[in-house]
Structure formats: C-alpha cells, structure tokens
Amino acid sequence: MTERTLVLIKPDGVARALVGDILARIERKGLTLVALELKTVDDELARRHYAEHEGKPFFPALLEFITSAPLVAAVVEGPRAVAAWRQIAGGTDPVEKAVPGTIRGDFALSTQNNLVHGSDSPESAEREIAIWFPDLDA
C-alpha cells in the first residue's frame, strides 16, 4: 500500500555534504520525492516535531543540535515507505544498531548526530508531515 513518510537530513548531514548521497539512496530504493526543502528550524517547530522526547535527558541537546544549522526536510512516497526509509536509514544508534550498508551504519558514530530522521509509523508520518509541510495537500 502506498504510504508517505517524513525524511530529515539533519544539520550534520548537510554540513558533511551527504545530501546528494542520501537522496540518491532514497531514489535508488524506488521511493518518490513529493516535497523537498532546505530550512533552518526554530525552537517551536523542533519542540513540536520531537514532542514525544520532551523530558528525556538528551532533549535539550537534541533541540540545540536540530536548530543549529540548515537541514533538509522531505516527504517521500511509495509502498511501505515508512519501513523502507527506516531500513535505508538504519537503527538510531549508528554503532550498535545500524548495520553497514545503511546511512547511519556507513556514515555515523553519534546517537544524536545520526544524520537522518524517519517517522516511526504511518501515524507519526501523518503528524510529522503536517508539521513540516502543512500546505502539501492544500
């Protein structure tokens, strides 16, 4: 079934010039880009996006990181897009969970600065896409 999911290439991915590589992996997998934007995020948007992590020890540093420099936000579409993008991205911990061949497994060492974000379920994708691209289906 066709789904949409939110893709973030976080500030570390932009700073390390990995945007082209990451988008190429998405396209080669067969997912379709339906929205794409380079933007610097304010504290309010970052808090809405990461609301489920509020109160966790890493939350203040995560907000600081995600608002620190431009990131790329995108929506991609395809069959089982949520799981497909999470498969390409690799696990959150890039050393102990992400395997080689995934974006995090190939390019990241830090659990915070882990290059990319993907929605964790179709319901999260719907919520997150509405935050980042409120006019997408307008």
Residue 114 as a binder of ligand CMP (CB under 6 A): the answer is yes
Residue 112 as a binder of ligand CMP (CB under 6 A): the answer is yes
Among 70, 74, 72, 91, CA closest to 31: 74
Both tokens of residue 72?
Answer: 């790329």
Q: Which of 32, 58, 79, 87 touches ligand CMP (CB under 6 A)?
A: 58
**Of 3 and 5, which CB lies nearer to ligand CMP in the complex structure?**
5
Element holding 45 (H helix, E strand): helix 43-49
CB 27 within 8 A of CB 34: no
CB 14 within 8 A of CB 115: no
Q: Which of 23, 94, 117, 119 touches ligand CMP (CB under 6 A)?
A: 117
Q: Which of 45, 111, 122, 124 touches ligand CMP (CB under 6 A)?
A: 111
Annotated binding site: 10, 58, 86, 92, 104, 114
List phi, psi (to 5°) of 130.
-65, -30
Give the shortest CB-138-to-ligand CMP separation in angstroms. 26
Residue 62 as a binder of ligand CMP (CB under 6 A): the answer is yes
Is residue 53 among the annotated active site residues?
no
**Of 30 and 58, which CB lies nearer to ligand CMP in the complex structure?**
58
DSSP 63: H
Q: What is the CA radius of gyration of the chain?
A: 14
- Catalytic positions are 117
